[in-house]
């Protein structure tokens, strides 16, 4: 049986959007897929050694709010200072209590499973980021390198 | 429940951890050996079925008992 391939582009840098690429990549590896994730723009935040990912209720009408907070806080209230930090810590607590892995843990599992993590060199330069900020084992490449793998993939996801 | 060689308690863990832990445990086992997985995530029922189909390992048993899900997987 030929090994199947999964290619993912991760473009978002918030706590909630950190999950899909790492969950799918680690699971695909367990199922025998060869997997690559190409991190670009805000997705690069997911490769930082020290993750400081947050979740925001702003512009997200689908986000379930604890204790009916959405009724008490209209949209402008959600923009109050401290609201994002509070929502982030509540989300993290909820995930922990439900046995959902942390982003760090899923990322480690991906690395253990030899998921290839590729950072978009152009975005690294654009945002004046330093390779020292990123975890070890990350490769740096561009769009053409992504297509070399994605063109052969069975599944290709843009997240 | 039939005999098994190793046991993995994934109680309290949510998707995709039970599958990832099971895969890791199976990696350290020999072909023909049986792994017993215990999980509380209701999604794991369909997930272990799909895992077995895609990896070629044999899901010998899948049942719910005492509020927990039990799976017997024979390594191919």
Residues A87-101: tens digit of each pLDDT: 899 999 999 999 999
Considering the domain boundaries, does residue B57 fall inside one?
A: yes
Residue of B nearest to A95 (CA): B14
Active site residues of B: 15
Domains along the sequence of chain A with CATH: 5-158 (3.40.1260.10)
pLDDT digits (tens, 9 = 90+) for B1-56: 678 999 999 999 999 999 999 999 999 999 999 999 999 999 999 999 999 999 99
Q: CA A120 to CA A137: how far, in whole Å?
A: 14
Considering the domain boundaries, does residue B1 fall inside one?
A: no
- What is the pTM assigned to this prediction? 0.88
Q: What is the ipTM of this complex?
A: 0.84
Considering the domain boundaries, does residue B70 fall inside one?
A: yes
Considering the domain boundaries, does residue B16 fall inside one?
A: yes
Considering the domain boundaries, does residue B29 fall inside one?
A: yes
Q: CA B38 to CA B22: how far, in whole Å?
A: 10
Domain of B49, CATH number, reads: 3.30.110.40
Lowest average pLDDT, out of A1-5, A53-57, B27-31, B39-43, goes to: A1-5
Contact between B17 and A99 using a beta-carbon 8 Å cutoff: yes
- How far CA B2 is from CA of B5, B7, B23, B45, in Å, comes to 10, 12, 20, 18
DSSP 8-state assignment for residue B30: -
How confident is the model at residue A82, as a pLDDT?
86
Considering the domain boundaries, does residue B51 fall inside one?
A: yes
Q: Supply the DSSP string of A94-134, one letter for each residue.
A: HHHHTTPPPHHHHHHHHHHTT-EEEEEHHHHHHTT--GGGB
Considering the domain boundaries, does residue B24 fall inside one?
A: yes
Helices H / strands E in chain B, number of each: 2, 4
Chain B residues with CB inside 8 Å of A103's CB? none
Query: A46 with A13: CB under 8 angstroms?
Result: yes
Q: Where are the alpha helices (DSSP H) in A2-157?
A: 15-30, 69-72, 75-78, 83-97, 103-112, 121-126, 143-150
- Expressed as residue numbers, the domain containing B61 is 6-74
Chain B residues with CB inside 8 Å of A109's CB? 20
How confident is the model at residue A63, as a pLDDT?
80
A-B Cβ pairs (cutoff 8 Å, strict): 36
Shortest Cα–Cα distance, B1 to chain A (Å): 26
Total domain count, chain B = 1
């Amino acid at each position: 049986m030929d090994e199947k391939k999964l290619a993912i582009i991760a473009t978002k840098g918030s706590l909630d959007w950190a999950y899909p690429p790492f969950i799918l990549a680690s699971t695909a590896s367990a199922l025998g897929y060869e997997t690559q994730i190409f991190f670009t723009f805000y997705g690069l935040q997911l490769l930082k050694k020290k993750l400081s990912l947050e979740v925001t209720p702003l512009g997200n009408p689908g986000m379930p709010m604890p204790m009916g907070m959405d009724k008490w806080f209209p949209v402008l209230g959600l923009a109050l200072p401290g609201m994002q930090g509070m929502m982030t810590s509540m989300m993290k607590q909820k995930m922990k209590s439900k046995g959902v892995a942390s982003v760090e843990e899923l990322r480690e599992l991906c690395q253990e499973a030899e998921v290839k993590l590729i950072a978009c060199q152009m975005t690294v330069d654009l945002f004046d980021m330093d390779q020292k900020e990123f975890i070890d084992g990350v490769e740096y490449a561009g769009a053409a390198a992504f297509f070399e793998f994605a063109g052969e993939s069975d599944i290709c996801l843009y997240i | 429940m039939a005999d098994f060689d190793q046991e993995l308690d994934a109680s309290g863990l949510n998707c995709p951890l039970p599958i990832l832990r099971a895969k890791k445990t199976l990696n350290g086992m020999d072909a023909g050996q049986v792994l017993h997985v215990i999980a509380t995530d209701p999604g794991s029922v369909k997930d272990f079925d799909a895992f077995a189909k895609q990896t070629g390992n044999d899901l010998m048993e899948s049942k719910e008992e005492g509020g927990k899900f039990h799976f017997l997987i024979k390594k191919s």
